[in-house]
Structure 1
Amino acid sequence: MAPDTTKSGFHSSLVVNNIKNHVTVELGMDNDQYLLWVILFTNHAKSNRVLHHIVEPKGGSKAPSTEEEKELWETLDATVLQWIYSTVTNDLLETIVEADSTAMAAWKRLQDIF
């Protein structure tokens, strides 16, 4: 797992209150903006140090080792998953949403569709 916090425990992705200010394209089944959406989304994920929640790191991901790290990882993953859900149309959302999903699983479902 990539380092997610500073010593204070603060993580920048938790203060993003409107993902649509950063990912200005709404992805839908009937539009051809998948590549643009991916570029905007991955750039935003990189700038918030959560890219590893949607793209497997080259060396593989390392599981959180403490309860605190696991809780933070789950919180960040839910945040990234919500970003995905908030930037797709309702029709596409109904296609990809799954109970107890992860951001990476939703990301892969979108890759499979497009």
Structure 2
Amino acid sequence: MGDTADFSTSSGKTTPSLHPVYTVTNIQNKVRTLDGTKVTCSSWVKLFQLNARGYKVLDHIDGTLPQLEDDADYGTRMEIDAIVLQWIYATVSDAYLARILDNESTALDAWGRLKKIFFEQ
């Protein structure tokens, strides 16, 4: 069963299932804040990727998310991407947030900026 599986209602109509990303109420309870000292980048990445995989949004940070604007699911994908981006912003320290925050960012963009900070110095 895929992320958008349909479930029949008693009236015979189908309703799309809720994407797992919408069930997360506080990502900070699952991924500790990346501060570079207590929580290192490698630990944070492992925790973040584990949750991204579990909530079926890993493609938003690994570069495999389709970016076809004419696709019928584009709006939903970008809405989910905004949630993943919020997760990133919510789980980095203020110092790192100031370095990766951008008005026109996608989750992949922010992920790449963090990668540059830690691995391409």
Higher strand share: 2
Please say which structure displays the higher CA radius of gyration. 2
Seen in structure 2, the aligned counterparts of structure 1 residues 104 and 4 have a Cα distance that, compared at 3 Å, is farther
Matched positions, count: 107
Return the offset for 1:100. Answer: 1.2
Q: Give the RMSD, CA atoms, in angstroms.
A: 1.8
Report the TM-score, using the length of structure 2 for normalisation: 0.79
Gaps of 5+ in 1: none
- Give TM-score scaled by structure 1 length: 0.84
Query: 1:29: how far off?
Result: 4.8
Q: Percent identity?
A: 36
Residues 31, 96 of structure 1: CA spacing in aligned structure 2 closer, same or farther, 3 A cutoff?
farther
Q: For residue 66 of structure 1, what is the aligned residue in structure 2?
A: 71
**Structure 2 residue ranges without an equivalent (≥5):** 7-15
Contact 2:33 2:91 survives alignment (8 Å)? yes
Give the structure 1 partner of residue 99 of structure 2. 95
Describe the SS at the equivalent of 2:62. Answer: coil
Distance 1:4 1:48 in 2: 10
Letter in 1 for 2:41: Y
Q: Write the letter of the residue equivalent to 2:112.
A: K
- Residue type matched to 1:78 in 2? A
1:69-88 superposed matches below 5 A:
69-88=73-92
